[in-house]
A and B are shown apart, each in its own frame.
Chain A
């Protein structure tokens, strides 16, 4: 399944964040969305998921316009892991993972043994096995993020949109989660996620989309687009690239050096 945007304008309230974006998230691609705070990463993901009205342009899921599809049909095609998942009411971990089955169940259908197994497998994958009957409110921040990812895995959509999936996660779990996504990508799923760690993007994303604060965007395969210059353009601080870093390029932000000095030195 393919998600494509043409001439997409994204606005939050009266603020126009992104103008005229053309983007195709194809099966087997994993997109990293990078940008400073408030440049529209979250709003873009919500817009792509059909949960925020675009200010212009159109979005298609395969060849059907997103605006014409029912929420249920969209939820079977694409899933979103939100940046935070509020839980004002008590619910257990297993119940929370099982809500991922919602778009696959008919109105009168109850979750069956197969759904339950799927939920338990997704929880185990995120090291949450044994916590099934715990209340979500008793989990740590990182455990909640892993639960949100497990819920998305239970939903099991061909397209996965994730809003800062590595937030609150320790290093092993960051890599476990992104490694899981990489495996899904290789099984021809499409992935798009907002990230704040350029090195995770460099390692795990086949493509990147850079959102500049002035509304301009750059995109393309990671190895072509992600370099020191584009990062300096994007974040407005100097970067250094580690030489001989191996398979993936590694960048270190150098905020102590004034960017103008770097520019003049060149």
Chain B
């Protein structure tokens, strides 16, 4: 195996350690702190009932939700960036989360919760996706610029609607709405559906990874080297939308992860999508898990929206790597 491949595989393995370490922290930290030994004991049911229920019923589901959400957003971000060939794209820039947020706020305003809230957010995301798809798709021509602009314009439209809904909402609902808008895992549903979508999404997009390597160099180059670009772009759009919708439903709209994690992983040196996609899933999941653990422990018992922490953690890390990259190339 050539040295650069060995290095890339090593990096991927290192990225695999990040979620594991984050998981140990997430399961151990909280109002009752557990040592790694106690966490393992609780995981295998050889501990006090309190510790077992703390780990199994409270911390593990939330940790898995955080991991799944981070991985979903990062993979969706990677796909979106290739789709519009623009490093500034992320799952939210195309307005998908905006649609989900408006629908979710409407549900909250109507006093609905649980399945209704989830279903409503998912429906909103799909509606937003169809709007962008329908409006940007004209004469069979589907330029990345038009896709990006349509998404950006619609996203600001959703933003205006969100502002309107917040203004007309009664004060006692505002707090919940704001938390939802900033992204929060405290009220996340069971993690299994999101985990399943994450694994399924990764399995569906991984076989397309070499095509993505080509598409990132433009439709012309990809087409000339044998990629059916129209079909590929349609698939990417559907996959990215589905992943984003699932993430939004799980944890509200958490910004920043989908934009920054793909770049972080690229800057680390994983530029081939066959490694970048799993790398982004691991890094995004691990980072969000870490951020969520900090969000619920830093100012305990006060809980912070996790979006604040992802930004505070991610921005310096990203800028550092960007600076380092600028020096070595």
Q: Which B residues from 187 to 219 make CB contacts under 8 A with A?
A: 207, 210, 213-214, 216-218
- Residues of B within 8 Å of A116, CB to CB, are 2
A71 to B228, CA, bound (A): 6
Q: Within 8 Å of chain B (Cβ to Cβ): is A15?
A: no
User: B271 near A: Cβ within 8 Å?
Assistant: yes
Whether A88 lies near B226 (C-beta < 8 A) is: no
The yes or no answer to B224 lying at the interface (CB within 8 A) is: yes
Interface of A is mostly: mixed
Q: Are B217 and A85 in contact (CB under 8 A)?
A: yes
Interface size class of A (residues with CB under 8 A): 35 or more
Whether, in the assembled complex, B22 has its beta carbon less than 8 Å from a beta carbon of chain A, the answer is: no
Whether A79 lies near B224 (C-beta < 8 A) is yes
The interface-forming segment of B81-89, B175-183, B278-286 is B81-89
**Complex-state Cα separation, A79 to B210, whole angstroms:** 18
How many residues of chain B are within 8 Å of chain A by beta carbon?
29
The B-contacting residues of A in range 79-113, CB under 8 angstroms, are 79-80, 82, 85-92, 94-96, 99-100, 102-103, 105, 107-108, 110
Within 8 A of A (CB), among B210-246: 210, 213-214, 216-218, 220-221, 223-228
| Residues on the B chain within 8 Å of A72, using CB | 226
A138 within 8 A of B: yes
**A71, B220: Cβ atoms closer than 8 Å:** no
Given A107-B207, A133-B4: A102 and B225 within 8 A (CB)?
yes
Contacts of B227 on A, CB cut-off 8 Å?
71, 102
Q: Kindly identify which residue among B216, B220, B224 contacts A89, using a CB–CB cutoff of 8 Å.
A: B216
With both beta carbons as reference points, the residue of chain A lying nearest to B223 in the complex is identified as A51
Residue A75 at the chain B interface, CB threshold 8 Å = yes
B224 and A51 contacting across the interface, CB-CB below 8 Å: yes
* Chain A contacts with B in 200-214, Cβ cutoff 8 A: none
A194 at the binding interface (Cβ < 8 Å): no
Known: A75-B224, A137-B329, A155-B225. A90 touches B271 (CB 8 A): yes
A residues in contact with B87, CB < 8 Å:
88-89
A90 touches B266 (CB 8 A): yes
Q: Any chain B CB within 8 A of the CB of A1?
A: no
Q: Is the CB of B226 within 8 A of A71?
A: yes
Return the chain A residue nearest B5 by Cβ.
A110
Which residues of chain A are near B174, meaning CB under 8 Å? Answer: none
| Contact B271–A103 (Cβ < 8 Å) | no
Interface centre among A85, A90, A105, A108 (most CB of B within 10 A): A90
A71/B223 in contact, CB under 8 A: yes
- Asked if A86 contacts B218 (CB within 8 A), the reply is yes
Using CB atoms, name the residue of chain B closest to A137: B329
Q: Are A85 and B226 in touch, CB under 8 angstroms? A: no
Bound together, the chains give a CA A116 to CA B85 distance in angstroms of: 27
Contact at B2–A105, with CB atoms within 8 Å?
A: no
Nearest CB of chain A from residue B76's CB, rounded to whole Å: 16
B86: nearest chain-A partner, CB-CB = A88
Q: What mask results when residues 56 to 91 of chain A are scored 1 for a CB within 8 Å of chain B, else 0?
A: 000000000000001111111001101001111111
What is the CA–CA distance of A46 and B218 in the complex, to the nearest angstrom?
A: 14
- Known pairs A79-B225, A96-B217, A134-B329; list 15 more (Cβ under 8 Å): A51-B224, A75-B226, A79-B224, A80-B224, A85-B218, A88-B85, A90-B271, A90-B329, A91-B217, A95-B213, A95-B271, A99-B225, A102-B225, A105-B210, A116-B2
Residues on A lying within 8 angstroms of B by beta carbon are 46, 49-51, 70-76, 79-80, 82, 85-92, 94-96, 99-100, 102-103, 105, 107-108, 110, 116, 133-135, 137-138, 155
A-B contact pairs, 26 of them (CB 8 A): A46-B220, A49-B224, A51-B224, A71-B223, A82-B218, A82-B220, A89-B81, A89-B266, A89-B271, A90-B266, A90-B271, A91-B213, A91-B216, A92-B271, A94-B4, A95-B271, A99-B213, A99-B214, A99-B217, A102-B214, A102-B225, A103-B225, A105-B210, A133-B4, A134-B329, A155-B225
